[in-house]
A and B are shown apart, each in its own frame.
Chain A
């Protein structure tokens, strides 16, 4: 029997890889933080290196995933797990990363026993963003920790948020396709194509919004303990510690007029600059999408797909298909005439009484029947509404008193 190789969609692979990356991302800052506490003096560069080195936990995560997937014999998996758990020693030269790998292997083993398909550590989740706050918050209160932890935490959170966003999006698409897989003529390929394109565009847009300002930011917060009564405590804010200025320079500065920029104006200018950049980015993303769409339309005007005949409407055809937009004849906002008042009152009454808003094609009687309005008051309102809406003279002020 000929066995046909099943094609694995790219989005499935992407989803699995995101699951691996999310594990590595959660462990990496904690690894750097622990190393910072175990070593005496750690420079800013070393912190960044430790963060990047912590990402090497990706290798045991991948091996563990492959082991649980392809080793059917549980004993073989346990043997492989022992090897995988020992791997961090060689990768990091320290046993710090062994516990997370042991936990990961155990959870996979536990899930295998329970028959569950996905472990918690294979799916990124928004609540896990809080894990990145641990090194950032610690660095605020512990003086020996560098402020770069805060900067990196924000960057990690942004990247992790994007991973979560794309992973959840893929899950929603796959979930919908799985639920409806037995439907006949379901255009699954086109659904996936359109929804993943939208997801990709949103991802690019969010990445353009989030990453550039966070990469360039210099956030650094410090907790300053209140000064003791007997002696003035030194401020711990690094920005507050003034550097010794030479006397000559000080004199020159004193001679210059006070030209300190207004902080509010600076912030506004930053915001405006950022808004312009975002607008340009959004425009570029939509421009690329629109261009790609127009280009693809010029190649194929119609095609068949799973029993559907799909026609791409051309611009000259659009006018024929396009219906003239219906302008709803509503009283204007500033119109306070009796006619407008009665019509507003009628509309409000109908909308309050009806569970669902009436359809635009309904006549007043149909709308009242839809809203189940009965009684004298309803009849009076109906009469006044028809007078206000359709009669040439309209309602007078006396009619308003009837309401």
Chain B
């Protein structure tokens, strides 16, 4: 009888011991990382989510379920393991033998511009005899930018040519005496102060200095992001942001300083969009990331307020103002004219191609050139 009792006790002890060991050790030296294979993509492009499981101990995990939630605008190519509602809830099953690293790559498509984060992972495991479920939460710090979509060259050419035309016309009038561009022969219309006397003495004929006109090549872009809910409003907002990104990138590449102001809120800081003065080709990615982070909402401050604020803060700089707004109300036009002052400005107006003519803005302005952009 003693033997039988010992046997029963021993069996119970072994069973409880494996349970205890598994409970206390299963998530030790277990690392789960969910990361994107790149930092950013453009809207509409494909990328990969990489799940990495490292079980760095001598305890096998027969089953490991990894669950996390992610924005539904990042759509996985295989939807079997995902439940899509307000978010995409994904559950993947792994198994890890002792001392193993498992890597799984999940391709997805970036369907909408934005800034996306994966903050937490829920890991569920079953014990060695698969009789008990154990759950743990592992924090994650993965972030991903879906940058505003590229626009085709043919689309952006017209507004960009107009902008460049305006900048070139200003360049003649306002040269920067500190930005030396080169030397050329003297013409009768050149002021005497531009003559380079040393170079003239060396060459024997009058030569004048040429100057760049960077100070006059500042562009302030005002971006309207208000309104959301309907598909057409969302589409117009996204196109507005894409136009802003595309124009800015081209201008930065051409050596023009750009500032973007907008009423859209940054998802990280909660403040309205203000890129500060950007210059140089290298700031284009930073600018696109800032634009990726802005949210379009219905309760944003109206564009009129932004124009008035910009007017109050503008000094005597000779900025070229570009407004990108889908607003068809005429009261925005006088405010924009007032901001532009004596100079020319451009309003890029994205609009629904099916919009009735009677709803469209009919006003025109001498100084503000309105460029309509059908979506």
Contacts and interface: CB of A to CB of B under 8 A. Distances in A.
A198 B60 contact: yes
Contact of B6 (A169, A184, A274, A359): A274
Interface stretch (A187-195, A235-243, A329-337): A187-195
B104 interface: yes
B80 A184 contact: yes
Contacts of B56: 313, 318, 321-322
Contacts of B18: 202
B338 interface: no
A154 interface: yes
A107 interface: no
Contacts of A254: none
Interface residues of B, number: 40
Contacts of A184: 78, 80-81
B103 interface: yes
Contact of A308 (B98, B103, B130): B103
A311 B100 contact: yes
Contacts of A221: 1
A195 B4 CA distance: 29
Contacts of A293: 97-98
A195 B126 CA distance: 10
Contact of A312 (B29, B91, B99, B139): B99
Contacts of A214: 3, 7
Contacts of B2: 267, 270-271
B55 to A, nearest CB: 9
Contacts of B129: 169, 172, 198-199, 202
A56 interface: no
B62 A194 contact: yes
B131 interface: yes
A191 B80 CA distance: 19
B93 A202 contact: no
Interface string B4-16: 1011001100100
Contact of B101 (A154, A183, A311): A311
Interface in A216-255: 217, 219, 221
A205 B18 CA distance: 13
Interface string B89-111: 00111110111111111000000
B29 A195 contact: no
A154 B10 contact: no
Contacts of B101: 310-311, 313, 321
Contacts of B54: 313, 321
Contact of A187 (B1, B4, B95, B105): B95
B128 interface: yes
Contacts of B272: none
A154 B95 contact: no
Give the interface centre of B2, B3, B60, B100 by most chain A CB atoms within 10 Å: B3
Interface string A106-127: 0000000000000000000000
Contact of B1 (A186, A198, A219): A219
A185 to B, nearest CB: 6
Contacts of A323: 29
A209 B97 contact: no
B93 A205 contact: no
A217 B3 contact: yes
A176 interface: yes
B80 A308 contact: no
Given A172-B129, A172-B130, A323-B29, A310 B92 contact: no
Interface of B: 1-4, 6-7, 10-11, 14, 18, 29, 54, 56, 60, 62-63, 78, 80-81, 91-95, 97-105, 126, 128-131, 137, 139
Sorted nearest first, the 3 A-B pairs with minimum C-beta distance are A195-B62, A184-B80, A313-B99
